[in-house]
Amino acid sequence: MALLKLNNISKEYERGGKKFPAVNNASLEINQGDYVNITGRSGSGKSTLLNIAAGMLSPSSGSVELDGELLNFKSDKELSLMRNNKIGFIPQGLAALNYLSVLENILLPFYLYPDKNFGDADGYARILLEKFNIEKLADAYPNELSGGELRRVIIARALINRPKIIIADEPTADLDLENINNIMQIFTKLNEQDGTTLLIVSHDQEALAYGKKLFIMSEGVLSLKN
């Protein structure tokens, strides 16, 4: 059974009184342990598809299944809980709360929906900090960090609830080549050593050298690159 399954997904918008498909009949199956990249030009529908896969946007037609559950008819509350527990989402940009410390930012998804059976969340957050070589930054604040350091914090935050899948939208955008490679090596280790399932959208050619499967998106159409 696929961990994430997109079945004939389409998403239409209206512009100037005319409808156009941002995503056009896209299908995708991701199994546990997969590492999938999606690339394409700006405006090709990549981010729209990713937001549908993460349950943050409803498709105009088609269905989304995550871990055997159909997302289409779930309430906003049910979708939020599922995302928090099963998806580690990494949005575009350096999305951290400046009034929270690094450690508090990482723990934020856990505190939104606390799980009494989780164990020591603070301890696990510190393990993630150490894993990404930013343990000395636990008490620092986002505006004190470099772009590469902040990106590591955001990845750690996505992992705090031990999700089934990491979904990342342009995780290396605006980073220099060294930091791009550092971040992509982190993803590779997560996949190869920890078995973390990854779905990543990127236009950085350096980032696309990593991963196991590459899909191309063009004018809303998704296709596997052979």
Residue 200 confidence class, pLDDT cut points 50, 70, 90: very high
Residue 4 confidence class, pLDDT cut points 50, 70, 90: very high
β-pair type (87-90, 4-15):
unpaired
pLDDT digits (tens, 9 = 90+) for 122-157: 999 999 999 888 999 999 999 999 888 998 899 999
Under a CB-based contact definition with an 8 Å cutoff, are residues 214 and 39 in contact? yes
Under a CB-based contact definition with an 8 Å cutoff, are residues 77 and 116 in contact? no
* Domain range annotation of the chain: 4-224
pLDDT digits (tens, 9 = 90+) for 11-58: 998 887 788 889 999 999 999 999 999 998 888 899 999 999 999 999
Mean pLDDT, rounded, for 180-204: 89
What pTM, to 2 d.p., does this model score? 0.91
Q: How far is Cα 216 from Cα 169, in angstroms, rounded to an integer?
A: 15
Question: Quick one: fold of 4-224?
Answer: Rossmann fold (3.40.50)
